[in-house]
Amino acid sequence: MSQDGAGVDLETSLGYLLKEASSVLRSAMEEVLRPLGMSVTHYSCLELLAQRPGLSNSELARGTFVTRQSMNVLLRTLERAGHVTRPAEAPVGKVLPARLTPRGRRKLEKATVAVRSVEIRMLAGLTETEQSGAFRILQSMIHSLRDGNAGA
């Protein structure tokens, strides 16, 4: 199974483990977000908007790791639900800065509690040192991958 030597051994592959961790984290978030009627992308968009008000559609897309087309449809949904507002006219260029409505902010608060509990659960059993180590290592991976992408 794992002794053929030619392949990427699933049992020891950090890439596979990364995918698994991400998958489990996503499932856990979906589970706690579902009672609130929100998806992970929903929440990510709102959280991003809370921390950086006035972000544009494209910027939100990059921050949540989806295409700007996908973010566009999500943003429409959030506008229709009254969680987000965008001006009808672009103040400058074509960029429409999005903002949370009070209602969106209230919705987000509940979601944040739920999501934070998941993150805390995920980190249980890890020391501060391990957490900061993981942080640095993940950043290194991201950096290496991005550089390679741009360079190729």
Nearest by Cα to 74 from 95, 43, 111? 43
- Whether residue 57 contacts residue 78, with contact meaning beta carbons closer than 8 Å, is answered with no
Chain positions 15 to 74 lying near DNA, rule: CB under 7 A, are 30, 39, 41, 56-59, 65-70, 72-74
CB 125, min distance to DNA, A: 26
Q: How far apart are CA 69 and CA 107, in angstroms?
A: 24
The strand pair at 99-100 and 84-85 is best described as: antiparallel
14 binds a second copy (CB under 8 A): yes
Q: How far apart are CA 86 and CA 35, in angstroms?
A: 27
CB 43, min distance to DNA, A: 11
3-class DSSP state for residue 95? strand
Site string for DNA, 86-125 (x = CB under 7 A): ----x-xxxxx-----------------------------
36 binds a second copy (CB under 8 A): no
- Residue closer to DNA by CB (options 44, 108) is 44
Q: How far apart are CA 136 and CA 130, in angstroms?
A: 10
> Which residues lie near a second copy (CB under 8 A)?
1-2, 4, 6-10, 12-15, 17-29, 31, 47-48, 50-52, 63, 65, 108-109, 112, 115-116, 118-119, 121-126, 130-131, 133-135, 137-146, 148-149, 152
